[in-house]
Copies of this chain bind each other. A is one copy, B any other.
Amino acid sequence: MENPCIICVAITGSLPTKANNPAVPVTVAEQVESTQEAFEAGATICHAHVRNDDETPSADPEKFARLKEGLEEHCPGMVIQFSTGGRSGAGKARGGMLSLAPDMASLSVGSNNFPTRVYENPPELVDWLASEMLEYGVKPEVEAFDLSHILKAADMHKKGQIKDTPYVQFVMGVKNAMPVDREVFDFYIKTVKRLFGEDAAWCAAGIGAQQVVLNEWAISSGGHART
């Protein structure tokens, strides 16, 4: 295939617990095992969060280090993407693991509402996370929770804050942020092509029940899919 479909497996996430779903991998050992299954089934990117022992979200660099080590051993060649999302910590703690130089890391470039709160990504923190990624050669995946985040990625690229063509993930279906909407989805693609070129890669993630819808839209429109 000229443009093979990239499957990005999101293990664990930041919220679900064993109480919600006993199959959720929580310890690093469980995460490595679960990712290996997905890797053998064809997933090529692993989007990873880590957890504390009580299953709450964590940004502990030590845990991320062990996860990276396990994945490198059991999933050779798999692209490792660390989450710097706001549920795992506050401020610079969210980027403490970037010095481990994973292949990729998620990068929120703006703020927006979440179901019950503000998802805060102040400009100063965004700039710092991007500079850490530059320093350690980590490719950002820009999380677009809204349209302006795609334009902000273009601006950051122009200013040298993002080195290569930005790789954007459209996130849809989060309550109080962007809902799952086909016309918006198509305009997102149009905007990515306009700003980053016809061949720019992008991916999409739907939250909860919307995951399958977004996967279908993404794959049939030339994007990459996230589980």
Contacts and interface: CB of A to CB of B under 8 A. Distances in A.
A67 B163 CA distance: 51
Contacts of A178: 147-148, 151
Interface stretch (A26-34, A117-125, A131-139): A117-125
A21 interface: no
A115 B122 CA distance: 9
Contacts of A123: 113, 115-117, 176
Contact of A119 (B111, B145, B184): B111
Interface in A99-147: 110-113, 115-124, 126, 145-147
* Copies of the polypeptide in the assembly: 2
Interface residues of A, number: 33
A109 B188 CA distance: 21
A65 interface: no
Most chain B beta-carbon neighbours within 10 Å: one of A121, A176, A194 = A176
Interface in A142-198: 145-148, 151-152, 155, 176-179, 181, 183-184, 187, 190-191, 194
10 tightest A-B contacts by CB?
A147-B147, A148-B178, A146-B146, A111-B118, A146-B148, A118-B120, A110-B113, A111-B113, A111-B111, A123-B176
Given A111-B118, A112-B112, 15 more contacts: A110-B146, A110-B177, A113-B121, A113-B123, A116-B123, A116-B124, A117-B122, A117-B123, A118-B122, A146-B147, A147-B147, A147-B184, A148-B179, A152-B176, A183-B191
18 contacts: A110-B113, A110-B177, A111-B113, A111-B120, A112-B146, A113-B121, A113-B123, A118-B118, A118-B122, A145-B148, A147-B147, A147-B148, A147-B178, A148-B178, A151-B179, A152-B176, A155-B179, A183-B191
